[in-house]
């Protein structure tokens, strides 16, 4: 079997299924590492050989989540060989091989932390970017990929095209996010770039800001505010605040673009205020019915 041809064909197969360029890059890097490590033809890989590869990754001190990503992409490649290229073999990556992961609760910002962070943001562009994360639940990649055409100020909404999993969705602008966005648009430099947020200084001025550039800005403001904050925590904060305000969990799922309701339900463990209100409300009824 020409392994190079198979990998190229697999990449084309994933592209036809509309996988993002980031996923394609990660899958190809994973397969390259696996093939370089492998000392037998790829179709002769056994379960025992796969377990040795897991031990190899553990010896390199890779995190369990990273190792599971390796296993997921390698399993997908073998499924492609078996189902699409009709290679007669068993998939060496059994589903039970995935390493057990801890499930830490999503980290969110308390109200006083939100105030501290946004008090030090002095750039209209940065304020608009981070308000979209905090009020609309956008991921950093989604903010970087926003275009001018995706913003509908008249209806107070933003179209998120090809978010995670290549899913489209609509999010809505709160009053403060709307005001921050309008202020930035008035100051946005003229540019042929279709992207909404642009670099505002330096050699790349006028070019679309990249994900890493947005993350650097967050690191700058977090250090200035004396906080340990990342962009994704603003998204977690939005979900938690929505739950505490008694928003329906299915509504939050749609706004965040989660494929599974179980992902959104993790925020219920953080929503202490809602749990507290629900407890006292229910307990009041219990005591009224069963007064001693």
Q: Which residues are catalytic?
A: 139, 164, 232, 235, 258, 267
Query: Which H/E stretch holds residue 157?
Result: strand 157-160
Cα–Cα dist 32/66, whole Å: 15
> DSSP code of 43?
G
Alpha-carbon gap, residue 185 to 196, rounded angstroms: 9
Residues in CB range of 288: below 8 A, 6 or more apart: none
Give how far Cα 281 sits from Cα of 2, 120, 247, 265, Å.
66, 39, 17, 21
- Helix-strand-coil split of the chain, %, nearest 5: 60, 5, 35
| Token pair listed for 172 | 């809505």
Q: How far is CA 284 from CA 143, 272, 273, 288, in A?
A: 44, 18, 17, 6
Burial status of residue 114 (CB atoms within 10 A of its CB: 0-12, 13-18, 19 or more): middle
Backbone CA torsion sign across 252, 255, 257, 259: positive
Orientation angle between helical segments 231-244 and 272-289, nearest 10 degrees: 20
């Amino acid at each position: 079997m020409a392994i190079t041809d198979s990998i190229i064909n697999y990449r084309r197969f994933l592209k036809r299924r509309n996988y993002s360029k980031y996923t394609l890059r990660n899958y190809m890097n994973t397969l390259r590492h696996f093939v370089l490590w492998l000392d037998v033809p790829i179709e002769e890989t056994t379960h025992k050989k796969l377990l040795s590869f897991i031990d190899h990754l553990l010896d390199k001190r890779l995190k369990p989540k990273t190792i599971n990503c390796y296993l997921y992409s390698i399993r997908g490649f073998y499924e492609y060989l078996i189902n699409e290229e009709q290679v007669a073999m068993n998939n060496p990556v059994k589903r039970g091989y995935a390493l057990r992961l801890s499930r830490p609760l999503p980290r969110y910002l308390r109200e006083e932390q939100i105030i501290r962070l946004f008090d030090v943001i002095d750039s209209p562009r940065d304020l608009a970017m981070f308000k979209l994360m905090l009020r609309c639940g956008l991921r950093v990649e989604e903010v970087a990929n926003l275009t001018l055409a995706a913003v509908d100020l008249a209806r107070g909404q933003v179209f998120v095209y090809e978010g995670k999993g290549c899913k489209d969705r609509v999010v809505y602008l709160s009053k403060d996010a709307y005001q921050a966005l309008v202020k930035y648009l008035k100051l946005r430099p003229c540019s042929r770039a279709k992207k909404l947020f642009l670099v505002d200084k330096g050699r790349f001025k006028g070019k679309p800001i990249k994900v890493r550039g947005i993350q650097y800005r967050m690191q700058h403001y977090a250090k200035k505010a004396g906080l340990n904050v990342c962009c994704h925590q603003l998204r977690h904060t939005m979900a938690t605040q929505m739950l505490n305000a008694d928003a329906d969990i299915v509504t939050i799922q749609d706004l965040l673009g989660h494929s599974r309701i179980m992902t959104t339900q993790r925020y219920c463990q953080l929503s202490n205020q809602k749990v507290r209100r629900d407890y006292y409300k229910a307990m009041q009824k219990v005591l009224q019915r069963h007064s001693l």
